Amino acid sequence: MQAQADCLITHGGYLRALASGQLGNILQIGHREDSKDLAEWRRLHGLAAQPDLVIASSSLDFTLPGSLAEHQQNVIIATAENADHQRINLWRQHGYDITIAGKQMVNGDLLTDQLAQRGYKTIYLIAGPQMLATMIQNRKLQRLYLTVNNQLLGGETFHTLIPGSIQHTNHQLNMIEHYYDTMSSNGHSQFYTCYEMSYA
């Protein structure tokens, strides 16, 4: 899915976790031996070697990994109207493209419209629950890819797929693909499911 994308949307929280070593880098394609065919697929289909990156952040508090410059990925920073103007100017002074896509936080509706105006057709969302919620709320999500890894997890708290409630309860998930992987990289079986969104 990532290999087919014109651009990826992530968020500042992921970049902070990446910088601290809590998460791995998933911003480039085809650099592991088992994924070189994905880089070739992009080349054969006339896509750039790597997808562009959109970072949604109201705080603008993150650092960019060196791999983005190394692989010549274009970076767009999407923020909100109430963001710190000194931080906005600082990113602009470093040559980054800033777009305003919301008042208090980045809004999926405005952001996807802006990206479409820039010529992006296939956008892959790897941001968190808040961004997913705005995409669904504003009827911008077309497909949802869900992976269920078959293992039991414990803990005091957990995060749901979408925070809070969705105003329109008549959104439908229509399953169009379903795969069973008997052995994932962590030793557990897992399901991959693709849903198309249907908005009443």
Give pLDDT tens digits for 54-81. 999 999 999 999 999 999 999 999 999 9
CATH architecture group of domain 2-141: 3-Layer(aba) Sandwich (3.40)
Tell me the average pLDDT across 19-24: 91
**Which residue carries 């039991």 as its tokens?**
152
Q: At 178, which helix (H) or strand (E)? A: strand 172-181
Please, where in the chain does CATH 3.40.430.10 lie?
2-141
Return the pLDDT at 79. Answer: 96
Q: What share of the chain in percent tops pLDDT 70?
A: 97
* Beta-ladder partners of 179: 192
pLDDT at 166: 66
pTM of the model: 0.86
Bridge pairing between strands 7-11 and 52-56: parallel
Taking all residues of the chain, what is their mean pLDDT, rounded to a whole number?
Answer: 89
Average pLDDT score over residue span 36-61: 93
Tell me if 50 sits within 8 A of 72, measured CB to CB: yes
Q: At what angle do helices 129-137 and 108-117 cross, to 10 degrees?
A: 80
User: Closest Cα to residue 111, out of 135, 93, 86?
Assistant: 135
